[in-house]
């Protein structure tokens, strides 16, 4: 059984959309980082998205774990023209589109960005490839809230609207297991 330990990167304290924009994580809560490191399996492979907030979080919890190359496929959703805008600015700029994006996620796309389905179609093949290449391993993946939610959707057989309702805190762990045929959902949003 392959066990995924999805870790959301450290907080950015941004009050705007942060997708592919590269903003740093605040990793100053060393006690929480220490608890997170201790909670995760020592023999795991460790991969992160290629954005600095994930890379730095992964480096902070790495220890002696085997570090894999950064994965562009694990980037947050591409919010396109909304990246860097606040929720209020997006709602004022694109009221109907922004409401539809959150209320009926799926094929709704921000201007010059990607939809939920497009992001899931980018992320899931990476996960499937890792399952094939590293069967029966523990994999720690440091990524973003949207990435983790797409995998909760996949593992739980959920609609996007159900997956998006999960809370995923910074530095939380979501554990999903693949037995070669089916997914099993373990802890979601566990804070060690």
What was the pLDDT predicted at 100?
97
Q: What local confidence, expressed as pLDDT, does residue 81 receive?
A: 98
The tens digit of pLDDT for each residue in 53-90 reads 999 999 999 999 999 999 999 999 999 999 999 999 99
The three-state DSSP-derived secondary structure of 89-117 is: HHHHHCHHHHHHHHHCCCCCCCCCCCCHH
Q: How far apart are the C-alpha atoms of 33 and 28, rounded to whole Å?
A: 9
Give the number of C-alpha atoms closer than 13 A to the C-alpha of residue 56, restricted to the C-beta side.
Answer: 13
What was the pLDDT predicted at 1? 95
| Residue range 91-104: mean pLDDT, rounded | 96
Task: Average the pLDDT over 146-175 and give the result.
Answer: 97
pTM value is 0.97
Which CATH superfamily includes the segment(s) 2-77+116-185?
Phosphoglycerate mutase-like (3.40.50.1240)
How far apart, in whole angstroms, are the C-alpha atoms of residue 31 and residue 22? Answer: 25
Q: What's the pLDDT at 78?
A: 98
Residue whose structure tokens are 């605040």: 26
pLDDT at 101: 96
53 in Cβ contact with 24 (< 8 Å):
yes
Q: Residue 32, exposed/middle/buried by CB under 10 A (0-12, 13-18, 19+)?
A: middle
Task: Indicate if the alpha-carbon torsion angle 72, 74, 76, 81 is positive or negative.
Answer: positive
Sheet holding 138-143, edge to edge: 66-67, 45-48, 138-143, 2-8, 173-178, 183-185
Average pLDDT, the chain: 97
Q: Is 21 within 8 Å of 83 (Cβ atoms)?
A: yes
Q: What is the mean pLDDT of residues 4-33?
A: 97
Average pLDDT over residues 3-28: 97
- What pLDDT score does 74 carry? 98
Mean pLDDT within 107-113: 97
């Amino acid at each position: 059984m392959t066990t995924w330990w999805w870790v959301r990167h450290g907080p950015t304290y941004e009050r705007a959309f942060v997708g592919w924009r590269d903003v740093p994580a605040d990793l100053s809560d060393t006690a929480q980082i220490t608890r997170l490191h201790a909670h995760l399996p020592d023999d795991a492979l460790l991969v992160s998205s290629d954005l600095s907030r994930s890379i730095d979080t992964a480096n902070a919890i790495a220890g002696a774990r085997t570090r894999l190359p950064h994965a562009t496929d694990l980037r947050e959703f591409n919010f396109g023209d909304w990246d860097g805008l606040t929720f209020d600015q997006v709602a004022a700029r694109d009221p109907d589109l922004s409401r539809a994006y959150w209320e009926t996620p799926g094929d709704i796309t921000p201007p010059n960005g990607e939809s939920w389905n497009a992001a899931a179609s980018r992320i899931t093949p990476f996960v499937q490839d890792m399952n094939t290449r590293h069967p029966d391993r523990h994999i720690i993946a440091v990524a973003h809230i949207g990435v983790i939610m797409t995998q909760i959707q996949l593992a739980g057989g959920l609609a996007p609207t159900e997956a998006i309702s999960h809370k995923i805190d910074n530095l939380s762990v979501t554990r999903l297991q693949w037995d070669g045929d089916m997914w099993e959902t373990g802890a979601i949003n566990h804070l060690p």
